[in-house]
Amino acid sequence: MRRTMMLAVCAAAMAAWTSAAQASDCKGCAPIKATGQGFCDHCGSGKIYGINLASRKLYDELAGDAKAIDELKESSCPGCKSAATAKAGACKHCKVFVANGRVFRSPTAYVLARGDKVDLSAMKCEGCKTAAKAQSTCKHCKTSFVADHAYSTVGFQAAAKKALETVKAAVKDAAHCEDCAVARVSDGKCGKCKIAFEHGKPVS
């Protein structure tokens, strides 16, 4: 009896300790703070391309799937197979996109993922620092910036800027319907709301 009491007191103390720890310094949020990207299921919030979002579904769609790349390399579809081995590629037939070793179903996510994540504080080139802040191009390095990512061409940068606007609209969608948010970034249709999207915009 006494032992049970002790255990109960212990458990209560542990619970109080963990909830206090989570409130001030959530373990799930720590990697997001450190890397500027991720999703915390405990808090139901995440960040990607500098945008805060509260939908895990939308986050996963934007973050892509690193595990799916090996399977894609073995695909019987030649389009998928060649996309899987490129730094960035797409199989238009299967609507599968690959960038930097991640597989995407969303063209919006793919266009953004063609860039490399940059750490402003670790940047050495002054031109890049200025360009990253202004979301422009460093003439010296020919590197173009959108959010916290660097793109190798101005064409990629222009596409990424457009894609970022689509993501912002999707975050607004997610406030009332997560399926609409996913449909917007993947040119799909929300079965619940019966809204179809093309190029990030609703079509009727």
Q: Please identify which residue in the block is written with the tokens 């996309």.
A: 83
77 touches Zn ion by CB under 5 A: yes
Q: Judged by CB, which is closer to Zn ion: 20, or 125?
A: 125
**Which among 174, 176, 175 has a CA at the least distance from the CA of 185?**
174
Shortest spacing between CB 67 and Zn ion, in angstroms: 18
| Binding letters toward Zn ion, positions 95-124, x by CB under 5 A | ------------------------------
Is 80 a binding residue for Zn ion by CB under 5 A? The answer is: yes
Straight-line distance from the first to the last Cα atom of the chain, in angstroms, rounded to the nearest whole number: 68
Strands, E assignment, the chain: 38-40, 45-48, 51-53, 88-91, 96-99, 102-104, 116-117, 137-138, 143-146, 149-151, 189-190, 195-198, 201-203
Sites for Zn ion among residues 139-158 (CB under 5 A): 140-141
Contact assessment for residue 55 and residue 181, using Cβ atoms and an 8 Å cutoff: yes
User: With DSSP H G I counted as helix, E B as strand and the rest as coil, what are the percentages for the chain, rounded to 5?
Assistant: 50, 20, 30
Nearer to Zn ion, 26 or 63 (CB): 26
Number of residues that bind Zn ion (CB under 5 A): 24
- Does 91 help bind Zn ion (rule: CB under 5 A)? yes
Interface region with Zn ion, contact rule CB under 5 A, candidates 9-17, 33-41, 58-66, 144-152: 33-41
Shortest Cβ distance from residue 5 to Zn ion (Å)?
33
What is the closest distance, in whole angstroms, from the C-beta atom of residue 131 to Zn ion in the complex? 7
Q: Is 138 in the site for Zn ion (CB under 5 A)?
A: yes
